[in-house]
Amino acid sequence: MTDRSLREQTMFPDKTFPMNVFFTTRIPPHWHDHIEWLYVKSGRIQLQLDGAHSELHEGELAIVHSRQLHAAQALEPDTQMVCIVFNEVLVRSGGLDSTEMDYFTPYFNHRMELPQLLKQDNPFTAPVSQAFGALVTEFKSKPPGFELFVKAELYRIFGLMFRYSRQQEAPGAHRPHVDHPFTELLLHIRQHYHEPMTVADAASRVSLSPNHFCKRFKQLTGTSLIDYMHLLRINEAHRLLLESDDPVATVAERVGYSNLTYFGRMFKRLKRCTPSAVRKA
């Protein structure tokens, strides 16, 4: 059982793009609900993943799973680590294409294993390191469109690791693609996000009980139905505030919020700024 006293509340500058990059020389024991990729930029470290300890050298990487206890300690002077922490929602497609069912759902539901350590003798380490560096550069400098380049590098790294994992499988192993019954529901939500929808309504569309639906929805998308709809609504509101002259109250109503105060609270929680601040910018 994971020690709840060691749980970290990771800070994301923008909760609708849940990622952050940290440069550090030491990582105290902790865990969080997100994925963490750790790169040894210089020096040498002692890494802990749950109860296992490993030594990593310059240019090597570690993949830390969600809710996995981890820590790292420098073993020589001038050691530096770069850590990318992100939530799985950044790469989940919500069942709308085959990558979700063939790759991400098996991985996030622990039915597929990916390598946790990429050492120098692994031929995949160099291309993963290159993509890691490009991702960090984009995220830190934040030029226009950086989010698209960051997601592209995330997918590149996952693609390399999935490919490496498949190459380690027994010859002839095959994972057939299975169509997911949630696809039609998710398309409906994305097209009608501004309309009310309860858990009971959504569950009935896929013929599940509300409790079972909530569990399956979280497994598929990485978030709850309510939070999923808030993300869709607030992202659309952000676009409208930038691209239209509609009053804030009109924007709120267009995306599904009848209460302006509640809209402002949700917008600030997810975007870390107020709707009026976006309009002024």
**Domain residues of the chain, as ranges?**
4-167, 182-280
What span, in angstroms and rounded, lies between the C-alpha atoms of 79 and 57? 9
Q: Which of 66-80, 166-180, 184-198, 235-249 comes out lowest in average pLDDT?
A: 166-180
Strand, helix or coil for residue 171: coil
Strands (DSSP E) contained in 120-160 are none
Task: With CA atoms as reference, report the closest residue to 44 among 70, 72, 79, 71.
Answer: 79
Mean pLDDT along residues 70-99: 87
pLDDT tens-digit series, residues 109-140:
777 888 899 999 999 999 999 999 999 999 99
Same fold, 4-167 and 182-280: no
Mean pLDDT of the chain: 88
List the single range of 2-6, 75-79, 249-253 with lowest mean pLDDT: 2-6
d(CA 139, CA 18): 12
Helices (H), 168-198: 182-191
| pLDDT, mean of residues 139-158 | 96
The CATH code of domain 4-167 reads 2.60.120.280
pLDDT of residue 94: 64
Please, what sign has the CA dihedral across residues 195, 200, 204, 210? positive
- Using a 10 angstrom Cβ sphere, with 0-12 exposed, 13-18 middle and 19 or more buried, the burial of residue 17 is buried
Domain 182-280's class? mainly alpha
pLDDT in tens, 152-199: 999 999 999 999 888 876 555 555 444 466 777 887 888 898 999 999
The confidence score (pLDDT) of residue 1 equals 45
Q: How confident is the model at residue 79 (pLDDT cuts 50, 70, 90)?
A: very high
